A and B are shown apart, each in its own frame.
Chain A
Amino acid sequence: MKLKPATLRTFTTLHSWMGLVAGFALFVAFYAGAITVFHQPLQQWATPRTAAIGSLDDAQRLLDDVLARHPEAREHVGMTFPGYELAQPTAYWQDRHGTWLFATPDHLAGNPTPPGASLPELINQLHYMLGIPVAGTWLMGVVSLLYGIALVSGFVIHLPRLVKDLFALRPGRNLKRFWQDAHNVIGLLSLPFHIVFAVTGALLCLMFVLMLALNPLIYDGKLMAASAAAMDTAPIVQKAGVARPLSPLASWHARSIEVARDQGIADFVPGYLKLAHAGDAHAVVEITGTAPRGLGGGAVALDATSGAVIATQLPGARDANHATLAAVYALHFGDYGNVAVQWLYFLLGLGGAFLFYSGNLLWIESRRKRRQAEQGRSSIIMARATVGICIGVCVAVSAAFVAAQLLPWLGWNVGAGERWACFGSWALCAIWASWRTPSRAAQELLWLAALVTALIPLAHGLATGWWFWRSAAAGHGALFAVDIGALALAIGFAALARATARRGRTGGANSVWADQRR
């Protein structure tokens, strides 16, 4: 396909500006997001002891006690089954002021802090809001939109030479061309995945805002009233005002599996339930579960007193709204299929981070002044920001991992300490990068990232005694995978540090990446 030179120029400008504006946030989102794919193994890894999985009897006791102690929970209560996210069941509800409270069999009083380790949630917050409360989510929604524009414009630029670019990875003396090739190949090969993230990322961050805007505009003001039916499985029912006891929790669990099996889903695993109007004759329970071979899980709504099926939304037999919603969630979080899909998402996530990092390097390189030692201000600022923010967040995430193991061992507050370790080390890296020359800062911070990341399995072994060879021998795949994954990443950072040093010594002299000592 031929494009007019003016169009090509417009879209090239568009692509590099969108990349510049959104690239840093996207690097953080992709690096943290790649790790978030494994949030469940991470939860096990960061929980001080490998607790035994609770039973359905524990869940029943928790539900009974919470309903007896907390009248608000009788209106609406949610509960995770043992082994889903956490080994023990968790109940959650809103108190009179609208605050969410969480209870476990050990803490029935209810606590505003969710149970379990705080590390997975910290990484997740970095992923979807850069750790910035409230506004961070909207910011990431806007970033997703800019990312979408960068994708379209990047695709348009490469359209004329699509096939040629795909098979052109030219290693050799021209390093810039090699980076350009790598940027193009990775971008093109993972394009479907990036389209999915731009669309679902924007939707997940801005769904509520979009609904508020579109409601009067195109839905005649009826959107909010219709959204419950479109997104939940159980219909909203009014209380009967007649007291009637709930049927046992184990019977709901068994019934949901049975209903799913009758609809051809043999591997339905109940994950959590939502119960409304407990104690009333019109009590309704909705059991949501996962079906590893379907795209997204499903839900079964039951009469909580008689166990009769009220409604189902299961893979293969869903209405369009539920099918779309399930696809959005499953495609974004990569929780369909088996562990191979998760590893693919992890690698594509790291590949995405590389895309934004290499994009910044290309921008700097294309503004390079080959004939003079002094480089432009914008190149130096961009190089410093890229080093401080991108390599800095790698150090910061690893520091949070190390803190998650060492702080409980030392008897300190884990939740707050992890945040200090994470954002403190990130800020220090950024300050370091703004002070040193870009070439030196990149090497030093990459070595630091390698060191801190290599400390992760060490801290885990010291704090818990679960050295990775012991986890492997005992069959704790999750613990082993996190430790070994950290070691692999540490080796990767060390390799990048060496490559950066080589560039400084032997690459083109007049560049922000050249060693200034020569």
Chain B
Amino acid sequence: MWARAGAGVLPGFFLAAALIGLLGWLLPGPWESTMVAGLTAFFPLWIGVICAAFRFSSGRRAWLWLGGLALLALGLLWLLQTSGWVR
């Protein structure tokens, strides 16, 4: 229980942040135009990820999956931002 909760709270935070970031920067128009919507959507998304973490069969799997996805999504976002493909 604790391990899965931790996975939802910690890597889950970074995963939710990365998803909000990808959505904000990939939507048409400048990212600034959806920043308040992004901040508002963050908490329900994070809560959803925390709850979803409890559906993994073990804490280890939850950490690996959520951590891996978070790194992947953040990496993709940084790649898009530094390469100037999104603005």
Contacts and interface: CB of A to CB of B under 8 A. Distances in A.
Interface of B, secondary structure class, is: helix
A145 B43 CA distance: 7
Contact of A218 (B21, B37, B48): B21
Contacts of A223: 35
A7 interface: yes
Interface in B6-65: 14, 17-18, 20-21, 24-25, 31-37, 39-40, 42-44, 46-48, 50-51, 54-55
A320 B74 contact: no
Given A153-B51, A217-B21, A219-B21, A320 B39 contact: no
A321 interface: yes
A325 B40 CA distance: 9
B1 A202 contact: no
Contacts of A324: 36-37, 40
Contacts of A19: none
B35 A230 contact: yes
B34 A214 contact: no
Nearest to B37: A324
B39 A203 contact: yes
Interface of A, secondary structure class, is: helix
A247 interface: no
A210 B13 CA distance: 11
Interface stretch (A9-17, A124-132, A403-411, A418-426): A9-17
B26 to A, nearest CB: 12
Task: Sort A-B residue pairs by CB-CB distance and give the 9 closest, nearest first.
Answer: A218-B21, A148-B47, A321-B36, A202-B43, A324-B36, A152-B51, A226-B32, A324-B37, A10-B54
Contacts, number: 91
A147 B14 CA distance: 21
A14 to B, nearest CB: 6
B1 A214 contact: no
A217 B74 contact: yes
A22 to B, nearest CB: 13
A320 B50 CA distance: 28
B48 A152 contact: yes
A219 B51 contact: no
B61 to A, nearest CB: 14
Contact of A321 (B34, B44, B54): B34
Given A203-B40, A227-B35, A321-B36, A7 B55 contact: yes
B77 interface: yes
